[in-house]
């Protein structure tokens, strides 16, 4: 039980990836051709984009794929900024300090320097190296243009894989330089089979209605299903897991900091709300969409009148739309709080 199941059952080979057969098959053909282009993996969150990139690297380079494979998270880089940069030991030599207050360079300057340095390094025992940039929608326009130039400069010895939930946020020249592969959540039948397989391996007794409830809750999201199943297994012990146990576990997934944010917003305490947003993004590692989803759940299950709940839901829906159109999640969350405080 101590292992996190989303990590334990993360696919290490392309054959282990659930669903997305067309995109995975294309990746196999590209590996076999030994002529891999830059890639843009796009689709909803938790659809296997990152797993596919890591599995591809494993198949190309073997178990020591880390020597020729580098991972960067653009969301951490540009939304957490210098506080994240000083925590990543890979950047210490470049910035020369572990104190964010002493960094004189801008975040985008550091990003350009880091990517340029890693791309310029020759591959070890391979024809090319891979640089994987996750959450590429968080890259600013200037960062994307800089990345495009770096991709052109080192295309002979370096391939880039970009992953994004919002491909429209990527500039056209960047999208056109990569083969675009779409990923989506798995079907209900495939998810149900996976749930039963994992339950059998872990010695968990789950009923048919428990599987159905978990499938309804996860809606094809494998990571969400495994996380909820593990919570339910820990809570149930040796008892059977049914629909009620799954429902109780979904309540455990709600962050206490989301409750802080919701309470601060409706009480018009913008200072406390901003602290809660910081904790949710920096400490809990939640995305803006995840925060909005939990806020929505709290709003509809609150004791407010139908009119008040409807107003809250409209504000959250507007924030979701703005978050889809704009890259900075923090600004949209703070704007949502400000709208609550205007009443």
Task: Name the residue ranges covered by the structural domains of the chain.
Answer: 5-182, 188-252, 256-341
Distance separating alpha carbons of residues 166 and 164, to the nearest angstrom: 5
Using CB atoms within 10 A of its CB, is residue 93 exposed (0-12), middle (13-18) or buried (19+)? exposed
pLDDT string in tens for the chain (343-residue length): 457 899 899 998 999 999 899 999 999 999 999 889 999 999 988 899 999 999 999 999 988 888 899 999 888 877 776 777 777 777 766 666 666 666 777 778 888 888 888 898 888 788 899 999 999 988 888 899 999 999 999 988 899 999 998 888 899 999 988 999 999 999 999 999 999 999 999 999 999 999 999 998 888 999 989 989 998 998 888 889 998 888 888 765 667 788 888 888 888 888 998 888 888 887 777 778 788 888 887 888 777 788 888 888 898 898 888 887 765 788 888 888 888 877 6
Distance separating alpha carbons of residues 56 and 31, to the nearest angstrom: 8
Beta bridge partner(s), residue 42: 164, 182
- Rounded to whole angstroms, what are the CA distances from 336 to 114, 282, 315? 34, 19, 7
Contact 126, 61 (CB under 8 A): yes
Distance separating alpha carbons of residues 226 and 206, to the nearest angstrom: 13
Supply the DSSP string of 169-207, one letter for each residue.
GS-HHHHHTEEEEE--PPPHHHHHHHHHHHHHHHT--B-
What phi and psi values does residue 271 have, to the nearest 5 degrees? -65, -50
- Report the candidate in 322, 338, 29, 343 with the shortest Cα–Cα distance to residue 181: 29
- 3-class SS letters over 3-24: CCHHHHCCCCCHHHCCCCHHHH
Is domain 188-252 in CATH 1.10.8.60, yes or no?
Answer: yes
Q: Which fold has domain 256-341?
A: Zinc Finger, Delta Prime; domain 3 (1.20.272)
Per-residue pLDDT at 343: 66
Q: Which fold has domain 5-182?
A: Rossmann fold (3.40.50)
Distance separating alpha carbons of residues 338 and 120, to the nearest angstrom: 45
Per-residue pLDDT at 127: 87
- Count CA atoms closer than 13 A to 143's CA, side-chain side: 22
Classified as helix, coil or strand, 163 is: strand
CA 100, 105, 111, 114 dihedral sign is negative
Distance separating alpha carbons of residues 128 and 328, to the nearest angstrom: 33
Q: What is the largest CA-CA distance in the chain?
A: 65
Distance separating alpha carbons of residues 320 and 338, to the nearest angstrom: 15
E strand or H helix at 122, and its extent? none
Asked if the domains at 5-182 and 188-252 fall in one CATH topology, the answer is no
Per-residue pLDDT at 98: 64
Task: Count the neighbouring beta carbons within 10 Å of the beta carbon of residue 214.
Answer: 27
Per-residue pLDDT at 1: 43
Supply the DSSP string of 27-72, one letter for each residue.
HHHHHHHT---EEEEE-STTSSHHHHHHHHHHHHH-TTGGGTEEEE
- Report the candidate in 116, 4, 24 with the shortest Cα–Cα distance to residue 70: 116
Per-residue pLDDT at 58: 92
CA 306, 312, 316, 317 dihedral sign is positive
Per-residue pLDDT at 300: 81
Contact 155, 15 (CB under 8 A): no
Rounded to two decimals, what is the model's pTM? 0.77
């Amino acid at each position: 039980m101590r292992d996190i199941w989303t990590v334990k059952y993360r696919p290490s080979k392309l054959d282990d990836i659930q669903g997305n057969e067309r995109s995975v098959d294309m990746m196999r053909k590209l590996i076999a051709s030994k002529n891999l282009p830059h890639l843009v993996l796009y689709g909803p969150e938790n659809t296997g984009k990152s797993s596919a990139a890591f599995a591809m690297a494993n198949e190309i380079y073997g178990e020591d794929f880390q020597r020729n494979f580098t991972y960067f998270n653009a969301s951490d880089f540009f939304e957490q900024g210098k506080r994240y940069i000083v925590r990543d030991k890979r950047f210490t030599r470049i910035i020369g300090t572990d104190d964010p207050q002493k960094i004189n360079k801008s975040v985008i300057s550091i990003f350009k320097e880091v990517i340029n340095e890693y791309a310029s390094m020759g591959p070890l025992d391979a024809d090319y190296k891979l640089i994987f940039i996750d959450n590429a929608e968080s890259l600013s326009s200037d960062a994307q243009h800089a990345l495009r130039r770096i991709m052109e400069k080192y295309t002979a010895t370096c391939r880039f894989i970009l992953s994004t939930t919002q491909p429209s946020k990527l500039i056209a020249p960047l999208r056109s330089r990569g083969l675009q592969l779409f990923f989506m959540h798995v079907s209900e039948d495939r998810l149900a089979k996976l749930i039963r397989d994992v339950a059998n391996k872990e010695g968990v007794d789950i009923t048919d209605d428990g599987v159905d409830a978990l499938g309804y809750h996860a809606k094809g999201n494998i990571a969400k299903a495994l996380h909820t199943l593990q919570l339910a297994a820990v809570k149930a012990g040796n008892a059977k897991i049914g629909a009620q146990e799954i429902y109780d576990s979904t309540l455990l997934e709600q962050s206490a900091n989301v409750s802080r944010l919701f309470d601060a917003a409706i009480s018009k305490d913008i200072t406390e709300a901003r602290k809660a947003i910081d904790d949710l993004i920096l400490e809990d590692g939640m995305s803006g969409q995840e925060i909005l989803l939990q806020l929505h759940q709290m709003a509809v299950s609150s004791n407010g009148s139908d009119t008040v709940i409807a107003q809250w839901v409209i504000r959250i829906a507007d924030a979701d739309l703005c978050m889809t159109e704009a890259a900075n999640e923090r600004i949209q969350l703070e704007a949502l709080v400000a709208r609550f405080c205007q009443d």
